[in-house]
Structure 1
Amino acid sequence: MTFSAPPKAAASLYGWLTDRLAVYLDRAPESIDPTVPLAVYGMDSVCALSLCGDVEDDFGIAVEPTLAWDHPTVAALAGHLAERGVKPPADGRRP
């Protein structure tokens, strides 16, 4: 599968988000299309809240528990987080 390249400002967040979502969704990271709604992959409220916790813990920002529903794709999530100035570590790992 080949997916389109993310916008530059959000590109570094794609890997971070995809890696975490792959664990929660029990999928290979490369199988997650950044433009497909996460609900299609089986995202539920537990997954969404876990992702919110990861964002808050890793980046030190508060997010609404509806984050994943308000921004339902990896592309939308990455764009939103980039707009808030979030940048993952250079190696994509947790800080």
Structure 2
Amino acid sequence: MGKVTAGEVQQWLIEKIAERLGEQPSAIPPGQYFDELDMDSTEALIIAGEMESWLGFELGTTALWYHPTIEALSAHIAEESARHGATA
């Protein structure tokens, strides 16, 4: 995949999390902390793996720790995507 924007990543994450939780995407606030979203660690790992496949690069193991909301992680991934696109 080419470069992605923070908005694209945010939309993707919200849709995946909503699907896992059986919620409407509108019920997932982008500023809420991941650990407040009622997902277990297995679900989080599955989503992270799907995201890496979608993005075409690996996320750092600490990405969710340092960027604990959908908004923060989306911005971080957009920066990483731009960096990976520049080196490709």
TM-score for the superposition, normalised by structure 2: 0.74
* 1:44 and 2:44 correspond: no
* 1:81 and 2:77 correspond: yes
> CA 1:66/1:46 → structure 2, altered by over 3 Å: closer, same or farther?
farther
> How far apart are the structure 2 equivalents of 1:49 and 1:70?
16
Select 2:18's aligned residue among 17, 22, 43.
22
Please report the RMSD computed on the Cα atoms of aligned residues, expressed in angstroms: 1.8
> How far apart are the structure 2 equivalents of 1:66 and 1:28?
28
The gaps in structure 2 that reach 5 residues or longer are 83-88
| 1:33 aligned counterpart, secondary structure | coil
Superposition map of 1:63-74 within 5 A:
63-74=59-70
Identity %: 33
How far apart are residue 26 of structure 1 and its match? 2.5
Which fold has the larger relative contact order, with Cα–Cα distance below 8 Å and residues 6 or more apart in sequence? 2
* 1:13 and 2:9 correspond: yes
**Bigger fraction of residues in helix:** 2
> How far apart are the structure 2 equivalents of 1:69 and 1:43?
15
How far apart are residue 63 of structure 1 and its match? 1.5
Number of matched pairs: 78
| 2:39 aligned counterpart, secondary structure | coil
> How far apart are the structure 1 equivalents of 2:67 and 2:47?
12
Of stretches 45-54 and 57-66 in structure 1, the one that deviates more from structure 2 is 57-66
| 2:81 aligned counterpart, secondary structure | coil
> How far apart are the structure 2 equivalents of 1:22 and 1:65?
23
